Structure 1
Amino acid sequence: MSLPTPEDPGRTPVWENYVVAQVAQASLGQIPEHALAVGVEVEGPRLRLRFQLSEATEGDRADMDDIVSELESLVGKDVEVASFHEVLDQRAISPTDGVRRIFLARVAA
């Protein structure tokens, strides 16, 4: 894989980076209380927010819905935004799962 450089930024994953920035913006002050990890899968104009939670309360669901709504307004009507959440004992992440994470809860030492 060839990485972009200041002299050749053309290899930068512009759309994916833009989406990650917009997810971060949409999430400001709204990360669910019980979030273990928050990220986004990007497949062209289809985005899928992925939430891992230690539990899913009504407040957590409201926060997730608010993030989805805010992201939809930031990326416009030509982009499909979906979401998925799962309840886990601890976060489960992998560098090869295709999810670009914007939030990871601290792991207890």
Structure 2
Amino acid sequence: MTLPTPEDLGNAPVWENYIIAQTTQASLGLIPQGALAFGVAVDGLTVTLTCQLREIGDADTADLEEIAQELSMLLGEHVSVTIAQEVHDTPTITPHDTVAWTFIARSEEASS
């Protein structure tokens, strides 16, 4: 297996990495206050922002809609950006997720 280099990207997931970078830019300062986890799933030209929260409030939805609008502007009209909100008690992250998580809240025990 050959690892990618700046001169030869090889099989590097360039599109997915581009979307993750743009998602991070679009979400700066906008991730909902009560978010447990936030990330993006990429399926070709379909991009889904996923946010795990303890409860879904109007302010959280507004923040996510603003992130989606910012991301849509960065990606252009050919990419479809949608939002998925999930209710959890704690961040639920597995190695099998199709979501690239860009934010995961610290557990309350770790921050004490």
TM-score by length of 2: 0.89
How far off is 1:87 after superposition?
Answer: 1.3
Matches within 5 A, 1:90-105: 90-105=90-105
Matches within 5 A, 1:70-109: 70-109=70-109
Q: 1:2 to 1:82 in 2, by over 3 A?
A: farther
How far off is 1:70 after superposition?
Answer: 0.6
Q: Is the 8 A contact 2:3 2:10 kept in 1?
A: no
Using the aligned pairs only, state the percent identity.
50
Superposition CA RMSD, Å: 1.5
How far off is 1:82 after superposition?
Answer: 0.8
CA distance in 1, matches of 2:56, 2:102: 19
Q: 1:82 to 1:11 in 2, by over 3 A?
A: same
Q: May I ask how many residue pairs the two structures share in their alignment?
A: 109
Matches within 5 A, 1:47-58: 47-58=47-58
One-letter code aligned to 1:77: E
TM-score by length of 1: 0.92
Q: Is the 8 A contact 2:40 2:50 kept in 1?
A: yes
Q: Is the 8 A contact 2:48 2:81 kept in 1?
A: yes
CA distance in 2, matches of 1:2, 1:92: 33
Q: Work out whether 1:30 is the aligned partner of 2:30.
A: yes
